[in-house]
Structure 1
Amino acid sequence: MKQLTKLSNIDQFLPRWTKRVIAETGGRDPLGLSRVSDMIVEFLLTGITTQTNRARYYSFYCWNIWNIWHIHLTEKPQKYKDFVDSFRRREAVLAMSTYANNSNTSPVGIKAARPILEKGFQRGEMDSNFRVLPSNALGGYGQYYGGSLYQLGLTRRIENGIDHLNKGMGEALAEAFHLSIHETPYIQKELFRKTKIPLVDFDGSKKLLTLDAIMKKSGVIERKLLIDLFFGFNGTTICESTLLRRHTLGQILHILCEYERHDLYLNLDSIDVIFVYAPSYFDVIWSEEDDKTIPYKCPEKFRRCHSLWRQFCLQQYFTNALENILFAVLEIIGNESAGLTIENIVLRLMETTFLKVLREKAGKDCYRPREILKAFNIEDIPTHEASYDLQQLLIPTAKNSEFDILRISEEDTGSVTAKAMLLLAVLYGKWRGIQDEEGMCYVHEHAGNGLWFWTFMPIIDKWLDKNTKWDETLERIIRCFIVDQHDRIMYEKKRLESCWFRTDGNRLFKEQEYSPKFRANRHLQAVNIMRDLCLIESDDEGYLSITSKGKTILNKILNEHECVIRKTIDSICMRYLIVAPMIMRS
């Protein structure tokens, strides 16, 4: 009997509050903590973003803009407006065809396409003269996919602001798309030139003009080319970012195989936990059904990729801790029309359930920061062995693991702040002694002025001093890593009018709500793309499995010799090992 493992989405571990909190959008980053996260994810999944989750858009947009094949060969636009008009008509037809063929799909522009599609069925002809995204003349390409196609080397920008296709893979994808739709009335009657399409011709074309058609027999060439593109199989040498994208996609396939090997089946709703946090950070696969974990051994070939994803997860837990403190600060000052000083904020935090929560989790009173570290058997700066042992001990099911801490009930701002301090303590214990992990070396080399956990760890070193008190600890964190960091980020973005709080003299005044959130890791988009490419399949309930083609690709990755053009990450590691001790002493 199959054991079904449907883990809750990571959002369940985000802070909750007893009153309505305004939902956040992805661009809101008051402390600049997304910078390091985005840098890591961009390196690991170049060309795949949080908004690019369908494989066929990559080949469709190549076909749509190909300068010597379709628009330029058949219509030869002389002005940017001509290019946009031609582009828009084709994209509108793709959106309408996709929805008409499968109402459960959501192509770019579904809101605009649905009412026009309904009118078209009534009138007997479809109108393709509309923007799928009213805010962008080039629709999904201009809003979402254009940057990805450029990063993958498929397009270039030349005169008049018109994007052109590069030779090689870009042209091959355009030809493959055209070949798959060549026999439709839409192409045979050159209906792409017109704004009105007879219903009979639309019906005769829509099955091949959909995003889903790539999974059919007609899409076999497109699938082959896109697999080569995403996995970097189309050249004798590849750059390091292409290699890491290959290994990230390969590790997803490998993790799926491991779950299946243990008779566990994964749901789309559990992407974050399954493909990122459990195997990449905790090195386990996790059955929530019986709350057991099974060790996950990452293939040696994926070691560098695996290490970078660990650093991404570490940054998310660090982000959650600091943003919990920001949240608590905003809640306290939000009820004070005259504002509050940082000293008064700290007093309010410690008047509530702060010490109570620490005592419940530590099993003893924690009147000073040193005592919370003792709860994790930390009495001195952790060695490599001590940090490694703690990483092995505090897996998701263990008491006081990151997952366990994030489950703390939030009664008030004191419990929120206690949760943040506990999370910082366990991260310190797990990582303070680790100085030679490859992912950490890369982040150190590329983070610049970005705030990440290693720049914060010297603050926690001071917790080991028996004379360090909670009030001075909280005051320093709020002043340096909340107030000063917030102001620095707002000045850099030149968004002072959009700040979350403002200072007047020595007092803080709340400007808007904020709730902590985990940053996107793009694994859901990667899984959706690999489903389109028939490497992963899902049943009606969203449970995932790897296909025979997916296993073939995984074996090819694991067994293939890789010739990589690399920025010698080994030399980066050596420089890092030299400077890391100096950083920690500063």
Structure 2
Amino acid sequence: MDGDNNTIEIGELVRFEAEYGPRAGIVLQINPSKILIKGFDTNEYWLEKENLELYIDFIEGEGRARKLKTVYEEFFGVRYNRMPSKNLETLLNILQKHGISYNPDAKRADDPFRMHRNKAYLTNTERTKYSAKPILGDEISRLLPKWIEPEELPSSSRDPLGLQAFAMHLADKLLPGMTVFTSRAGYFFFLSWALKSLNETHSDTGQYDVLKRLERALVLCESLYHGKDGLKDCIHLGNRSKMRLLANGVGNVEIPDKILKRQDATGCYNLYKNSMISLGFWEEDEEAAIKGLLPYRLTKLGEKIADLFEKRNYSSELLRWAKEKETKRSVIHLENWGEDLCFLTYGSIGEKKTFLEGFLFAKGHSDRVVYDANLRLKTLIALDYEDLLIGDSINEMQAPVTDEAYGAAVSELEDKEPGYNQFFLVHYFDNRKKKNIEPFVDAAIYEILGLSLNAIFAGVFYHVKNSGRTNIPKWIAKDVVAGSRNIDFWDAKLEEAVKISRESERKLISIILSLDTSSQSGVIEAGLMLLMRVLSDEFNRQVLNSHLAECAFQDILEDLTTQKEKNMRQVLEFLIKALILHHRGVFERKHKERWLDIDGDEVYAFEISGDMALGFHSYRFPQLMSIIRDIELSREDLHNGGQ
């Protein structure tokens, strides 16, 4: 093996020969003579550099195509003739993290497994090189980190138990390629047109700066067109800045310097670019990046969607204005532009058909695009089968909530008013034994269990925040149990407690989300009752053990089985301690905010700031419903292949 193609650094995925065959692992430590590798087979190896090879180099040669079971054995030292799904997911997550793409149709042990380097990925060495040496120029060097790194929300204080990552994994099985930001179909048209227009022409200020001006000009036109009375009708990034834009009342205006906070991170280009690829409109283009252009190119479908935007009456005027500096336009003219470009007007037959070809019916595209489109289509068909997709009662529900600080619908948790995420997932939980709805059921059970655990943690959080250091057993006896109307529940053992709690899961969810932060004991009791009810059901436990085996709280629930002979007071004490220890682990692994810690029987504030919200994570259903409204999707569109 030759490790000279790329300098090997700590954290890299490498391949090497071990006693029982080739193995894979992560570089932990580098000494002058040898390198320490932590193998995925749990062993540690001290090896010389010449005996190591970056895995990403290996797959570009002889390792590109092998059987799935061979690759798995290489990583974990175990050969399967039937590949367990959770083992496969573990392998795929490792490969994705280290910039390796693969064919998504490989499921069985003997299936061919083709791997290739994700061209948008840089090794640690390459990241260091490009950040230290802007050899591609300031513009593209600034862009590079944004298109090689996964999109993540800002660090949140709403996830003390680290549940969001797995929720996003489940959401990707329902609506891949969408995020909490991708709520408007119009951005796919606008951005494709902008990419085509800007990469075809030279700009002294750089294509990216012109693109940002284009976005701000578009928001200004939409704001002026809709006016103060139309703020809720046409939500877009920077929506909450409309009032500021409309307050001046002047006759001529320039493109504002600021509509979005931190536009580099929260503008439509950064938030939609991965979705543009998933829908088959864009492809990564390294040559364009080297030339200082936006690092993407349009696919044939992307050309179609760009041309449709270009045909709008004022698209060329908008582009000309964005390229000019210190030029004002009449408010009346901009209102006309806004009417022409409005995101509520993309439901024509041609626009809808072209958009759906990427969104749902991606025949003839790459394997990844087709795979994502098929999952989205299955999700929409499943929703429609339950009459949840199109109808008056559905359309009256709330649109995505936007946040000016981040520029879009960034709430990880829905507000307490039941929105699409809660509405859909509780519906599928109630109907969980129906066929062909497994991804919905997985998400529903995960969310309800997560809500129950978060409710218990939140009750402790607010008590400690208000009252300080607390002895857990004494507090449970004095406040939680003493104030309960269900004393029999607290005296019952684990298996008996469920029979005493007569409230349904739906009702308990409603109770948790309706209580305010002063009702700590009520939130805890409802959370514990909800947890017991969900875990008492054999079907739910099967889903938990098969489909949710890798989720963040699985270790807590497994340990809970050791408490069968304890009453619910003792079970709650065990859970509180387990949750706080889990919270500590989340902080240590993910550097999330650390609020509470434990010392024997006492819980105390570590560094409490802000509040903790309770709700369902976003599964992108509000964004889906917004897009459906934009393109005026009908049942005929869905079931006739968009024709």
Q: TM-score, normalised by structure 1?
A: 0.67
SS of match in other structure, 1:169 = helix
**2:218 corresponds to:** 94
- 1:453-504 Cα offsets, whole Å, 9 max, x none, are x554434434543xx2345423332222x12211111111224xx3112456
SS of match in other structure, 1:128 = coil
C-alpha distance in structure 2 between counterparts of 1:183 and 1:425, whole Å? 58
| Equivalent residue letter for 1:108 | L
1:84, 1:138 within 8 Å by CA — same for their partners in 2? no
- 1:206-261 Cα offsets, whole Å, 9 max, x none, are 3222222323x5xx43322111211134437764433221122233333337996x
1:352, 1:412 within 8 Å by CA — same for their partners in 2? no
Do structure 1's residue 458 and structure 2's residue 558 form an aligned pair? yes
Report 1:420-439 matches (<5 A).
Answer: 420-431=527-538, 435=542
**1:178 corresponds to:** 310
1:99, 1:107 within 8 Å by CA — same for their partners in 2? no
- Higher helix share goes to which structure? 1
Alpha-carbon distance change, 115 to 348 in structure 1, aligned in 2, over 3 angstroms = closer
**1:402 corresponds to:** 505
**1:11 corresponds to:** none
| Equivalent residue letter for 1:461 | T
Do structure 1's residue 43 and structure 2's residue 169 form an aligned pair? no
Q: Bigger relative contact order, structure 1 or 2, given CA contacts below 8 A and separation 6+?
A: 1
1:254 to 382, 385, 392: 385
Alpha-carbon distance change, 523 to 110 in structure 1, aligned in 2, over 3 angstroms = closer
Report 1:134-213 matches (<5 A).
Answer: 134-137=261-264, 140-153=267-280, 154-156=282-284, 158=286, 159=289, 160=292, 162-181=294-313, 185-186=317-318, 190-195=320-325, 196-199=327-330, 201-213=333-345
Do structure 1's residue 368 and structure 2's residue 368 form an aligned pair? no
2:221, 2:338 within 8 Å by CA — same for their partners in 1? yes
Deviation of 1:112 after TM superposition, in Å, equals 4.4
Number of residue pairs the alignment of both structures matches: 450
**1:281 corresponds to:** 429
Alpha-carbon distance change, 266 to 137 in structure 1, aligned in 2, over 3 angstroms = closer
| Equivalent residue letter for 1:476 | F
Alpha-carbon distance change, 489 to 417 in structure 1, aligned in 2, over 3 angstroms = same
1:350, 1:414 within 8 Å by CA — same for their partners in 2? no
Alpha-carbon distance change, 50 to 333 in structure 1, aligned in 2, over 3 angstroms = same
Report 1:261-340 matches (<5 A).
Answer: 267-269=396-398, 271-272=419-420, 276-283=424-431, 303=436, 306-337=437-468, 339-340=469-470
Task: Please provide the CA RMSD for this pair.
Answer: 3.6
| Equivalent residue letter for 2:424 | V
Deviation of 1:434 after TM superposition, in Å, equals 5.2
1:83 to 201, 207, 213: 207
Deviation of 1:517 after TM superposition, in Å, equals 2.4
Q: TM-score, normalised by structure 2?
A: 0.62
| Equivalent residue letter for 2:477 | M
1:52 to 160, 182, 190: 182
Deviation of 1:101 after TM superposition, in Å, equals 2.0
1:72 to 191, 199, 206: 199
The percentage of counterpart residues that share the same residue type is 17
- 1:317-346 Cα offsets, whole Å, 9 max, x none, are 111111122122223333555x23xxx213
1:358, 1:365 within 8 Å by CA — same for their partners in 2? no
C-alpha distance in structure 2 between counterparts of 1:494 and 1:273, whole Å? 27
**2:590 corresponds to:** 493
The runs of 5 or more residues in structure 2 that have no matched partner are 1-153, 399-417
C-alpha distance in structure 2 between counterparts of 1:404 and 1:229, whole Å? 40
Alpha-carbon distance change, 265 to 155 in structure 1, aligned in 2, over 3 angstroms = closer
1:91, 1:132 within 8 Å by CA — same for their partners in 2? no
- 1:160-184 Cα offsets, whole Å, 9 max, x none, are 5833233222222212211234686
| Equivalent residue letter for 2:397 | L
C-alpha distance in structure 2 between counterparts of 1:57 and 1:42, whole Å? 21
1:65, 1:163 within 8 Å by CA — same for their partners in 2? no
Deviation of 1:140 after TM superposition, in Å, equals 2.2
| Equivalent residue letter for 1:174 | A
SS of match in other structure, 2:250 = helix
C-alpha distance in structure 2 between counterparts of 1:183 and 1:433, whole Å? 53
Do structure 1's residue 122 and structure 2's residue 250 form an aligned pair? yes
SS of match in other structure, 2:173 = helix
SS of match in other structure, 1:518 = coil
C-alpha distance in structure 2 between counterparts of 1:253 and 1:111, whole Å? 32
**2:636 corresponds to:** 552
C-alpha distance in structure 2 between counterparts of 1:138 and 1:518, whole Å? 25
C-alpha distance in structure 2 between counterparts of 1:555 and 1:517, whole Å? 33
2:214, 2:322 within 8 Å by CA — same for their partners in 1? yes
The runs of 5 or more residues in structure 1 that have no matched partner are 1-23, 285-296, 377-398, 536-549, 561-586
- 1:105-162 Cα offsets, whole Å, 9 max, x none, are 332224445544565x624x33125243141237522453233224434242642583
Alpha-carbon distance change, 277 to 373 in structure 1, aligned in 2, over 3 angstroms = same
Alpha-carbon distance change, 152 to 329 in structure 1, aligned in 2, over 3 angstroms = same
C-alpha distance in structure 2 between counterparts of 1:327 and 1:271, whole Å? 21
SS of match in other structure, 1:509 = strand
1:33, 1:451 within 8 Å by CA — same for their partners in 2? yes
Deviation of 1:552 after TM superposition, in Å, equals 0.6
SS of match in other structure, 1:29 = coil
C-alpha distance in structure 1 between counterparts of 2:587 and 2:604, whole Å? 15
Alpha-carbon distance change, 182 to 405 in structure 1, aligned in 2, over 3 angstroms = closer
C-alpha distance in structure 2 between counterparts of 1:115 and 1:406, whole Å? 38
| Equivalent residue letter for 2:295 | D
2:223, 2:245 within 8 Å by CA — same for their partners in 1? no
- 1:27-65 Cα offsets, whole Å, 9 max, x none, are 621111122211101231122221221110111111112
**1:516 corresponds to:** 614
- 1:412-434 Cα offsets, whole Å, 9 max, x none, are 54333222221111111224675
C-alpha distance in structure 2 between counterparts of 1:129 and 1:404, whole Å? 48
Alpha-carbon distance change, 133 to 350 in structure 1, aligned in 2, over 3 angstroms = same
1:61 to 180, 186, 191: 191
Alpha-carbon distance change, 354 to 316 in structure 1, aligned in 2, over 3 angstroms = farther
SS of match in other structure, 2:477 = helix
C-alpha distance in structure 2 between counterparts of 1:500 and 1:59, whole Å? 44
| Equivalent residue letter for 1:242 | A
